[in-house]
Every structure is written in C-alpha cells, then in structure tokens.
Structure 1
Amino acid sequence: MNDSPYYQYGPYYNIPPYVLAQNSKRDLRKTSNMLCWTLLAAMFFMVAFTYICVAYLKAVGYTGDYANSGFSGFTPVLFYLANGAGYLVGLSAPVLIYFSARHVALSEALPFEKTGFLKTAACVFFGTAVCMLANIPANAVVEIEKSFGFTGELPNYPLTDDPAVLALYFIIIAVIPPIVEELLFRGMILHSLRKYGDGFAVVGSAILFGLYHGNFVQMVFAFIAGLVMALVVVRTNSLWPSILIHFFNNTISVAIEITQRYGGEQLANTVNNTVVGVFLVLGVAALVYLLIRDKKFFSGDAVDPFFRMSAKLGALFFNPGGVAVLLFAVISSFRYLT
C-alpha cells in the first residue's frame, strides 16, 4: 500500500492537492470561457433571427405594417411569431452545437429521471414559493432606482386585445422560456459546472442566469430563482421540476398582467395576494416534506481547502467569455434605466 499523504487522489497520488487545484482552476476557466461565449452567442442569435425574419418578409414582398406602434413594422401576430421563433431557435441551437462540439450526450446533460409525483410536486411548490419571495428584494431594487429618479419599469412586450396576440404572448412568456432557458442554464451550464462541485454549479449557473436578464431588477429576481431551480435539478437529477417552476412563475406573471389590463389594479392586487398566499402555504408544506423525506436535500458540498468557492467564482469570470458576459450585463442594465 502506498503511504504517501496524497494517496487518496488515486493515480495522481504523487501530485500535491494544491497542484491539482491549480489544474482544476485552469480547466474551469477554459470551460467557463466556452460556456460564456455560447451564452452570448445564444443571445445574439435570438435577436439576429428576428432580423432574418424581416429580411425574408421583405424578400417575399412584405412592406411592413405600422398601424400598431411598438411592433417594429410587423403585424402583432407576425411580431410574436418572429420573436417566438427567435427565442426558440436562437437559444437552443448554440446549446446543441456546444453539446456536439464537446461530445456530450443529451441524455447526460439533460436529465429527466423519474422522481416520483410527491417529490416533484414538493420541489415545484417550494421553488415557486421561493420565486414569490424573490419579488421582495427585486421590488427593493425598483425602489432604489426610483430614489435616483428612474422609473424602475421593466422591458416588456407590446400588446393588443386580439385573442391570437394574447395567446402568442402567453406562449412567448410562459411556454418557450421554461423550455429553452432550462435547456441553456440548468442543462448546458449547470451540467458543465457540476464536476467542480454541485454547490458551485448551483451558484455559478444562478449568477449567469441573473446576468443574462440584463437589468438590475430581474438580475436579483433571476439569481434567487436560478438558485432554487438549479438546486432541484441537482437533487432530483431531472429538469422537469425546474421547467415546471419556471412555467408556474411565468404563468402567474402573465395572469396578473392580464388581470390588471382587463380588471384593473385593485383586482390584480387581490389576485396577486391570493396566489402568493396560496403558494407560500404550499411552499412551507413542501419544505417540511423535503426536510423529512430527504435530509440531504439542502446539504452542501464538502469544503475544498485548496479550491474554495471564491476561487471557483473568480475562475468562472476571469476569462475572455466571462468578462464579456459581465460587460454585457452592466451595459445592458444601464441602458434599461429610464
């Protein structure tokens, strides 16, 4: 038997742990660089696809429709179809290319293990309740922005009363994002970071999810939501709970917005308070269930004395792609201040 103090490192028993940590840090920088450039490429293609649609429509003789302001010369239906297609193709195509380039099997990176109805429901209710609570710090950011003279308003899509437009609005807000954003953040990014520790992967993917939204208010909300959605994926080895959390959260948002549009502020507040109350009660019950049924659900990784969380987060962003993502997030956030 080998008596070396580094024997526990298997075939690398003759390499000191701090050297292994340095190698891991370099590998993490390389991985993060690829992830961040893929994320930026996805955002670029999401926007570029809309312009491709414009070019195509012009090529077939479409002259533009400016009867409704805010739709960029599209009819409202075409506007949502183009943006929905851009969202779907733009975010998913770079991810699939990334998996292909790195020879990652989709079944490995996009897990859908059977979790059981009760545990899945508990994860969804707990996660949705956390999303409800995440509105508190997000609203605090809104108030801070207002104290500096900004409106605190978020970017939004234009609407008409056409049922087809309202249906497409629901699809582009509540159906497509829970699929493609989970593919991107809790699939590609979370999976790629897990070899450096599940705790780091959860935090790192949540930070990137927040930065992706490109404004200070949604950054705070999306970071907290990203934490709980990544956690349930790690603990269930399935994307279904995070997709459902994402769907419930966005559906509630759309429901409140439509209620306000047609029923007024007071009714919208009543519906919002009722929904929040129901999901907080369900969330507490789900939390109790998870604590009893799975005592390791909220446990963290063993502390690595040679490659701490702070060093991992540094390696996540101290690379060309990571710096580019940070610059995008800062510039975009200031651009949206009005």
Structure 2
Amino acid sequence: MQFQREPRRGGYPGLMDHWPSEGGNVYISGYGFIHLDPDQIERHEIRRSASLAGGVMLCLTLLPAIFLLPGQLAVRYLAQFIPVESPDSLVLWTAVLTEVRNGLWQVGSYLVPILFLLLAGGRDLRRKDNTTFSARTFVLSFGCALGLSAVVGCGGELFSSFLSGLGLIEAGSSAVPTVPAAQALYVVRVAVILPVLQELLLRGLMLRMLRKYGDAFALFITALMSGLTAGTLNGGLCAFVMGLMYGYLMLRTGLLSSAALAHVLCALWPALSQTVGRYLPGWAAEAAMLLLLALGLASFALICRRDENAFILSSRALDYGRMSGAGKGGGLPFRKKLAVTFGSAFFSAASALCVIQIIQRLWVT
C-alpha cells in the first residue's frame, strides 16, 4: 500500500479520515481497520527526502562541468561585438568576460536544483513558520555570524598550514582578477549572487523540506550538504560550520532573508580583502579581523545575557508517535535518522562522489 506524504482531511496517510486511535488502528477506505507502524512511515519519508538531497548534491557536483562549455560559447559570442582598440582594452575585456563566464555556469548550476526542489518539494515547501523573535536577537545574530566567519577564516588558514606541513596543498578556485572592473564583478558574484542562491537552495528549500523530521536533523543535513559540495577539504569544513550558523538564523527567525543577508555579509569581507585589501597596508586586514572577532564575542555575550532562550530551537518534527499512541517520546532518534539517511543509495553515492572530488583536489608537494 502506498502512503501519501501529508495528512489529507486531518489524517495520515491520504486515504485516512482521521488520526489513528490510541491503539494505532485506523480505518482506510477499501482496506478496513489496519495497524500502521509510524517508524516505518518515517523511515520511508526520510529515504525519500535523502534521495532528493542526493539529487541536489549531484547537481551541484556535476552541473558546473556541464555548464562550463555553454558559458564559454556565450562569452565567445559576446566577444565578437566588443571592439578591441589596444592591448590594455584586450586585457580589460578578457578579465570581464572571464567573470561573466564564471557567473553564468555557477548560476546555472544552482538554478537547476532549485527548480528541481520546487517541482518535487510539494506540500513541504508550503509549510508556514510561526516563529517569533525579538529584533535584538535578530541584529545580534548577524554580529555572531560575522564573528564566527572571522574565527572560521583564521581556522582555515591554520588548517592550510597544517596540510602544508603534511606535504599537501589544495587546488584553489579561480584566481582573483586584477582588473578593477573584473574585481567588481567578482565581488558581486562571490559575495552576493552565489550566497543568495545557496541560501535559497539549502535553507529556503532543503531545510524547509527536512524540518518535519526535527530542527536538529534538518540543520545538520543542510550544513553537511554545504560542506560536501564546497569542493575542497578546507572550504568544506568552513562551509559546514557556517552552514550551521545560517541554518540557525533560518530556524530562529523563520526568515530566509536573515540567513541570506548573514551569508552575504560573511562572504563580503573576505572578497573585499582579496580585491580592495591588496591596495591597503598589511595591518588593515589584521585590524578588520580583530574588529570582527570583538563584534562576534560582544554579540554572543549580549545574546546569552539578555535572551536565555536564544540558542534553544523548537522541535518542528512531525509527531509520528502520535499515530500509534506513543506519545511525546515517539519517533526515531537523531542517530537512527542519520543511519536511514546514509542508507539511501542515492544520498550515499552523491556523498561519495563529493568526497572523491575533494580528494582529487589534494596534491602532494
């Protein structure tokens, strides 16, 4: 018998007219009274969601290579309409068109999984959040995010030094352009467009779909997806930690804009330090890092002092235990949910492919 994913007319699954009784017996049209195993239903739902998450990771891993060629063809088509009057203008337009090409294939790589989840998400994406939050917590959370990004940045540099000590280096991403016009496009692409698309995909869609299994589970899986699809070991660890922060903002405020804005702010200052920072004295970057650390510590202290429940997330899990009268303690524990998730062949295969990609970018010196 196939189960609907959402209660219809107040029941679960779709053919039910009401929730099960205390004994777990329900009447289903055409079947009579039967007993449902809520844990089995939850496992089925988690496997389905894990398969969708695996599809998203496969898209983020494979689509960049697929969209690279169309991006190059589009840039080549645009190049024939650009007049080149001198070697300097050739360098300028080459750098600008390179950034346009990078933006095209990266945006395409995110738009496809976004459309995929919009079509496959169903009723999970139409759930309304009734989270309440104070403006003070909302503002201070951005300070915590910026402070954490500074800590993660310092930790990333230390981890790179640790890898160098082991004789390993990571193949980096595209180099930062030196032409001012291309630098402006680079900042917009890295610090605005990509963070917004990533938050829309992972926190706006994926996290919303996973919340019925619990906030902690949804928070961990989406942060794990951020880390696995980062492409490098160092970047993956940083993305996982920051993904926890962005997911917290989404869960705490119920606003996708809060997570997106925090991600933009946390990506903006490294992008500016790589472009504008090269024209500033060396102490300016260190002063900015210390300022962000102080801002993060002060924001964290104020949150802990004035809002004692700031880091307590409400449970949004769908109560499968209610179906069999198991009460408040019903439902699978966190570790079993993870086991079911990694038991999904699609999710495990996508995770393995991401890990292989990360290992391939580790070079021995």
TM-score above 0.5, yes or no: yes
Match of 1:317 among 342, 353, 364: 342
SS at match of 2:287: helix
State how far apart, in whole Å, the 1-side matches of 2:134 and 2:94 are: 44
2:160 corresponding residue in structure 1:
142
**What is the number of equivalent residue pairs in this alignment?**
322
User: 1:112, 1:238 within 8 Å by CA — same for their partners in 2?
Assistant: no
1:102-251 to structure 2, matched below 5 A, reads 102-104=121-123, 108=127, 117-135=135-153, 137-151=155-169, 155-251=172-268
Residue 173 and residue 320 in structure 1: after superposition, are their counterparts in 2 closer, same or farther (change >3 A)?
same
User: 1:210, 1:219 within 8 Å by CA — same for their partners in 2?
Assistant: yes
Match of 1:77 among 85, 96, 107: 96
User: 2:220, 2:244 within 8 Å by CA — same for their partners in 1?
Assistant: yes
**1:13-72: CA deviation from partner (whole Å, max 9, x where unpaired):** 9747xx311221122112211221123224433443231022344567859x9x99xx9x
AA in 1 matched with 2:338: L
Q: CA RMSD in A?
A: 3.5
Deviates more, 1:280-289 or 1:157-166: 280-289
The offset of 1:329, in angstroms, is: 2.2
Deviates more, 1:261-270 or 1:171-180: 261-270
User: 2:145, 2:296 within 8 Å by CA — same for their partners in 1?
Assistant: no
The offset of 1:304, in angstroms, is: 5.2
User: 2:96, 2:182 within 8 Å by CA — same for their partners in 1?
Assistant: yes
Deviates more, 1:175-184 or 1:122-131: 122-131
User: 2:75, 2:100 within 8 Å by CA — same for their partners in 1?
Assistant: no
Consecutive unaligned residues in structure 1, runs of 5 or more: none
Residue 155 and residue 108 in structure 1: after superposition, are their counterparts in 2 closer, same or farther (change >3 A)?
farther
1:272 corresponding residue in structure 2:
289
User: 1:53, 1:82 within 8 Å by CA — same for their partners in 2?
Assistant: yes
SS at match of 2:177: coil
Match of 1:48 among 63, 66, 85: 66
Residue 114 and residue 312 in structure 1: after superposition, are their counterparts in 2 closer, same or farther (change >3 A)?
closer
1:29 corresponding residue in structure 2:
47
User: 2:149, 2:242 within 8 Å by CA — same for their partners in 1?
Assistant: yes
1:20 corresponding residue in structure 2:
38
**1:77-109: CA deviation from partner (whole Å, max 9, x where unpaired):** 111112212222320232123212343586648
AA in 1 matched with 2:46: L
- Work out whether 1:99 is the aligned partner of 2:124: no
SS at match of 2:312: coil
Length-normalised TM-score, structure 2: 0.76
State how far apart, in whole Å, the 1-side matches of 2:34 and 2:149 are: 47
Residue 290 and residue 228 in structure 1: after superposition, are their counterparts in 2 closer, same or farther (change >3 A)?
farther
Consecutive unaligned residues in structure 2, runs of 5 or more: 1-19, 28-32, 318-327
Length-normalised TM-score, structure 1: 0.81
